[in-house]
C-alpha cells in the first residue's frame, strides 16, 4: 500500500469519525478514531496526516477508508517546495527565484500581467 498525505477535512468528535482529504488528488476518505495511531483528543480539522487506503464493502456498498493514520510533521514552505512532485519539475531554487521576481522592493506581491491589462 502506498502512503498518502492529507489533512483532516472534518471531524465529528461526538461520533468518533470524520473525513480526510488527500492533498494531491482532493479525494475524501472516511476515517474512524480507531484508525489513528495517536491520541484521538488531538484530532481536528486541518491536522496534517499520512495514511493508507483500504477498499471494503459495507452494507453491500463499496467504500474506501483511511487506515494507519499518522500525524504528519508540519513542514516549512521551503521544505514543501523542495519535495519532488509528479506535477512540478522545478527545483526549490527555481521556485524561490521566480517568487523573488514577483515581489516588489517593499515585499508586497506585484500585479500579474493579466491584472495589469485592466489598468
Report pLDDT digits (tens) over 34-79: 999 988 888 988 899 999 999 989 899 998 899 999 998 766 666 6
This prediction has a pTM of 0.59
Instruction: Report d(CA 1, CA 103) in Å as an integer.
Output: 42
Quote the strand ranges of 1-119, DSSP E: 4-12, 17-22, 28-32, 48-58, 61-71
CATH 2.40.50.140 segments of the chain: 4-71
Q: What is the average pLDDT value for the chain, to the nearest integer?
A: 76
In CATH terms, the superfamily for domain 4-71 is: Nucleic acid-binding proteins (2.40.50.140)
Q: Quick check: 20 and 49 in contact, CB under 8 A?
A: yes
Question: For the segment 14-32, what is each residue's pLDDT rounded down to a tens digit?
Answer: 999 999 999 999 999 999 9
Give the C-alpha separation, 83 to 98, whole Å.
17
Return phi, psi of residue 13, to 5°: -60, -40
Residue 111 is predicted with a pLDDT of: 45
For residues 36 and 90, what is the distance between their CA atoms, to the nearest angstrom? 34
Amino acid at each position: 500500500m502506498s502512503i498518502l498525505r492529507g489533512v483532516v477535512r472534518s471531524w465529528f468528535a461526538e461520533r468518533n469519525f470524520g473525513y480526510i482529504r488527500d492533498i494531491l488528488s482532493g479525494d475524501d476518505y472516511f476515517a474512524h478514531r480507531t484508525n489513528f495511531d495517536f491520541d484521538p483528543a488531538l484530532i481536528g480539522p486541518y491536522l496534517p496526516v499520512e495514511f493508507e487506503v483500504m477498499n471494503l464493502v459495507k452494507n453491500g456498498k463499496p467504500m474506501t477508508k483511511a487506515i494507519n493514520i499518522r500525524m504528519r510533521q508540519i513542514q516549512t514552505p521551503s521544505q514543501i517546495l523542495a519535495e519532488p512532485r509528479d506535477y512540478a519539475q522545478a527545483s526549490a531554487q527555481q521556485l524561490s527565484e521566480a517568487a523573488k521576481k514577483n515581489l516588489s522592493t517593499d515585499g508586497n506581491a506585484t500585479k500579474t500581467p493579466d491584472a495589469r491589462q485592466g489598468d
